[in-house]
Amino acid sequence: MAIKAITFDLWDTLIDDETDEPKRKAQGLRSKPDERRHLVWEALNAIEPTDMAAVELAYATADAAFRTVWHDQHITWEIADRLRVVLN
């Protein structure tokens, strides 16, 4: 069988693009991962008091699961799937 195509996982694999993080820090903004966690915490906390540590743990769990599936099964979860793991 002849090879028909080769694909590459570009962003954050071949190209590590965190170039805006120093700019965010200089502006006093949270890093992108920290901002995502904060936004989820704000949304949950608006519904009922939520401990930020619980959000951090949920993200750590989801990130570990994502990396395992990505590495072992070569599957990249969509954002909705990752968020579903965080919220469960």
Mean per-residue pLDDT over the chain, rounded: 91
CB 44 within 8 A of CB 55: yes
Kindly state the average pLDDT of the residues 12-37: 85
* pLDDT bracket for residue 68 (50, 70, 90): very high
Confidence check: pLDDT of 60 > 70 = yes
What is the rounded CA–CA span in Å between residue 30 and residue 13? 23
Q: Which residue has the higher pLDDT, 8 or 71?
A: 71
Confidence check: pLDDT of 6 > 90 = no
What is the rounded CA–CA span in Å between residue 55 and residue 66? 16
